[in-house]
């Protein structure tokens, strides 16, 4: 994912001239949150290149709504949720456009390339989980959000987050133990 500089941020937002303080604040947020958000979305989506596109789109939307996003209790979670919503929209469009026989699995992970993404064994284990469990693991583990924030982000109850995390942890432990035993 490309790094941005202050010069790369457009000077206007919805016809309003952006204040330099807004630009600097958003640039700092972007630099601090970019890698965490990319890791989280990659863990859920499974494709590095797709995750990069989704996160870039989410950050563009965050900039367009920066006064609102800035006040959000968990702006990183806002970006991740926006990226995941964009992924759902993309998948729905793709489902309508492509015959079912030609569908490619949307959750294949690309090779780890030293960018701080989880290793291939962990990505394979994450792909084996149901999508909601992947989302919970990504938000709770990769973004280090608490159960309440994760629940609000995903639109589910905090107890459901706890249950999904427990099931996911059990499944990941079993999957990784099997993988280790085969080595």
For residue 103, the model assigns a pLDDT of: 41
For residue 30, the model assigns a pLDDT of: 96
- Residue found by looking up tokens 């968990």 in the block: 74
Q: What is the mean pLDDT of each run of 10 residues along the chain (183 residues)?
A: 51 59 92 94 90 94 93 93 87 57 44 60 86 91 89 92 93 80 63
For residue 21, the model assigns a pLDDT of: 87
Could you tell me if residue 19 is left (phi over 0), alpha (psi between -120 and 50 degrees) or otherwise beta? beta
């Amino acid at each position: 994912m490309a790094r941005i500089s202050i010069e790369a941020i457009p000077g206007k937002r919805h016809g309003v001239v952006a204040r330099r303080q807004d630009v600097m604040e958003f640039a700092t947020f972007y630099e601090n949150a970019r890698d965490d958000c990319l890791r989280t979305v990659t863990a859920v989506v499974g494709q590095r290149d797709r995750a990069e596109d989704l996160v870039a789109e989410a950050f563009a939307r965050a900039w367009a709504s920066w006064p609102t996003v800035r006040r959000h209790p968990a702006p990183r979670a806002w970006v991740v949720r926006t990226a995941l919503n964009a992924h759902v929209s993309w998948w729905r469009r793709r489902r309508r456009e492509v015959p079912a026989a030609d569908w490619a699995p949307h959750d294949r992970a690309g090779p780890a390339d030293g960018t701080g993404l989880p290793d291939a064994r962990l990505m394979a284990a994450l792909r084996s989980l149901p999508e909601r469990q992947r989302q919970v693991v990504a938000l709770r583990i990769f973004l280090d959000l608490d159960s309440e924030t994760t629940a609000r982000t995903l639109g589910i109850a905090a107890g459901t987050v706890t249950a999904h995390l427990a099931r996911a942890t059990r499944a990941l432990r079993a999957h990784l133990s099997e993988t280790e035993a085969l080595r």
